[in-house]
Amino acid sequence: MSESDSKPLVLILCTGNSCRSQMAEVLLRRAAGDVLRVESAGSKPSGYVHPLAIEAVKELGIDLSEGRSKSLDEFLDQDVETVITVCGNADQACPVFPGQVRRYHWPFDDPPHAGGSEEEQMEVFRRVRDEIDRVFSAYGHGRRDSLA
C-alpha cells in the first residue's frame, strides 16, 4: 500500500468536472494534501478542464494545466471516505461509494454560464474560485487538525 493509498480519499463531484470540482480539488489538495488524498470527477465528464478555471487558479500559483476531466465511475471500486458535491446535478446523481463515511453538498455558481466579455467572465471565475478556496481551505485545515 502506497502512502497516498493510506490517506483518506476525498472525492469532489460536479457534473462536467471541468471547472468547480477541478478548482476545489487543487485548492483542497493545497490545504490538506499532506493528510488527504484529493480527487475530483464528474457524473457526465466534459472531457476538458475549462481554460478560465486553469487561469483562475494559476493566479494563486497553482498549475492545473495537466488537469483531466474524470468520470466518477473511475472511483466506484475505491474506498472513498468523503464525497463533496459542488453542483445540484452531481448531488442528485451521486452514488454511495464503498467505505463512504461522509457526504456534503456545497453548491457554487457555475462560472462557464457567465455572460459578457472574457474579462467579465474571468471576474466570475475569480469570485467562484475565491468562494471555493474559503470553504475548501477551511475544511482542509480542519481535517488536518483532526487527523494530527
**Residues identified as active-site:** 14, 87, 94
Q: Which amino acid is at 141?
A: H
How far apart CA 40 and CA 25 sit, in angstroms, is 6
Dihedral, CA atoms, 118, 119, 122, 126, nearest 10 degrees? Answer: 180
Tell me how far apart the alpha carbons of residues 28 and 73 are, in angstroms, rounded to a whole number: 21
Amino acid at 38: V
**Residues 6 or more apart whose Cβ sits within 8 Å of residue 65:** 54, 58
Strand, helix or coil for residue 132: helix
Nearest to 98 by CA among 119, 113, 117, 77: 77
